[in-house]
Amino acid sequence: METLRELSEVIHGPIRELPAALSRLLAPGAGHRALTILAADVDGGHRRGAGESSVLDQVPYLDLVEMRRRMSPGTVRRDTMVAEGAAEEVLLALSRNGALLALAGPTCDAEGERAVLDLWNIVSLRVQRLADTAPPSWLRLARMSAGERMEALTELADEYSTTLETVLAALRSRALDDAAARTTATGIAAAGLVHLRTVSDRVRTVAEEPVTTAFERLRDDLGPLVRYREIDMQFVEPPLDGRPLPSEVAHGARAVVRGTILAMLDDPEVGRVRVQWDCDGKNLLIDMRDDGEGGLSRESIQYQLVEDRIQALRGRIALDATPGWGTDLSIVIPLDPPHAPAGLPADWALGAREQEILVRVAAGLRNREIAAELTISENTVKFHLANVYRKLGVSSRAEATALYFAQARQDEPAAR
């Protein structure tokens, strides 16, 4: 009973305290030096931890992602990671919804490992629920951040590739007579190119999810929603060669479908729901139909929640609800993220911190959220925001946001 009480505290406690609370819960049966959580749904995955910070800081994020990739959902296994320059044993538990739990220096037997997985399967539902109910502003910021991240990555790859290729050309020149130096330098430069391209590929893998994998996860997620009601769930698979989905689109699309299913199930006459995903190369296309009474309206709270999330992803939604004939929802979500303005006008004269705050204001974040993300005080946010208003000649967040996106729209043709 004590374990159940502690589990309840973990699930219902603040998200920031979840890693530490989970660590305390697991400690009696599975001792560990440190604990790391890699959530299933965010822009590539959100990482939180508890325990010896030196251990956690030494684990590369991409290594955790690679460990997760090699596992099947609902499994547990042991592996090794490099921490503080030495190999460290780690216990990995991958929940059924794809969230990874890693325990550094575990002290438990096979029964304890199974208990860790069982508890993690329960706690990870809380983590997913928090992601599902994240405000639309999170998705707007994730979409913009994704565009900036991939553009920066491409520029970095191009810059270093050009530099290293130039080095290779110079070192291969017949004008250089030090063969040993040329051979050594050529090997180092070639290895650098391979490493850069490998890192680039890995980052893109983290930031994207195959559309078939995303759809398979959706099917698994919907199981608990219809377990206690006789619903004929029909799934139309996306094409195998469909374009991979950006991680925030995959997450947002799954959350939209789950929310829509819950709204449809409010109608007791619904006995069949059909879910179809498709891709046209530029968009994720979602079609959902039920055989109920067609009572879902655009004014309903459930519909508004779904619409807000779709709009945050820059998508479109069409509702066709006919009384007595059921509901048909068609959703289009663009796969390419919006571009932040390539360069804010010089006459805006915004400092670096002011630009960071303006981006987040445009994404819908409040002062408290901005302060937490930038690790500054709310008063500092207010100070910089007042300067932004003064320099832009506006008096509200809405005006600043409108001006920002007007500039973004002007930059889009050049970006394409």
pLDDT for res 132: 59
> CB-based contacts of 177: which residues, under 8 Å, 6+ apart?
none
Can you give the pLDDT at residue 76?
93
> Up-side HSE of residue 267: CA atoms within 13 Å toward CB?
27
pLDDT of amino acid 94: 92
Q: Quick one: which of 153, 261, 287 has its CA closest to 208? A: 153
Q: Distance (Å, rounded) from C-alpha 252 to C-alpha 143?
A: 10
**pLDDT per residue of the chain (416 residues) written in tens, 0 to 9:** 567 778 877 777 777 788 888 999 999 889 998 888 877 654 444 567 888 765 666 666 667 777 887 888 889 999 887 766 677 888 999 988 788 899 988 988 999 999 999 999 888 877 776 665 555 555 555 555 555 455 545 555 555 665 566 666 666 666 666 676 667 667 666 666 665 655 555 555 556 778 888 898 888 878 766 666 788 889 999 988 888 888 778 878 888 888 888 888 888 888 899 999 998 888 999 999 999 888 777 887 778 878 877 877 778 888 888 777 888 999 999 887 655 555 567 778 888 888 888 888 877 777 887 887 787 888 889 999 999 998 888 888 878 887 887 776 565 544 33
Tokens found for residue 83: 């921490």
Q: Which two tokens stand for residue 69?
A: 């990739």
- In this structure, is the dihedral angle defined by the CA atoms of residues 191, 197, 200 and 205, taken in order, positive or negative? negative
End-to-end CA distance of the chain: 60
Give the separation between CA 395 and CA 379, rounded to whole angstroms.
18
Burial tier of 415 (Cβ tally within 10 Å: 0-12, 13-18, 19+): middle
pLDDT at 413: 46
Q: Which amino acid is at 146?
A: A
| Dist CA 305 CA 298 (whole Å) | 10
Pairing of β 272-279 and β 232-236: parallel
Strands 283-290 and 326-334 turn out to be antiparallel
pLDDT of the residue at 45: 47
List strand residue ranges (DSSP E) for 164-294, in order. Answer: 208-209, 232-236, 245-246, 272-279, 283-290
Give the position of tokens 């099917």. Answer: 219
CA atoms of 253 and 389, how far apart (whole Å):
35
Q: Which residues contact 264 (CB under 8 A, 6 or more apart)?
A: 270, 273, 288, 290, 292, 296, 327
Using only C-alpha atoms, the chain has a radius of gyration, in whole angstroms, of: 25
Nearest to 143 by CA among 256, 252, 242, 65: 252
Per-residue pLDDT at 205: 52
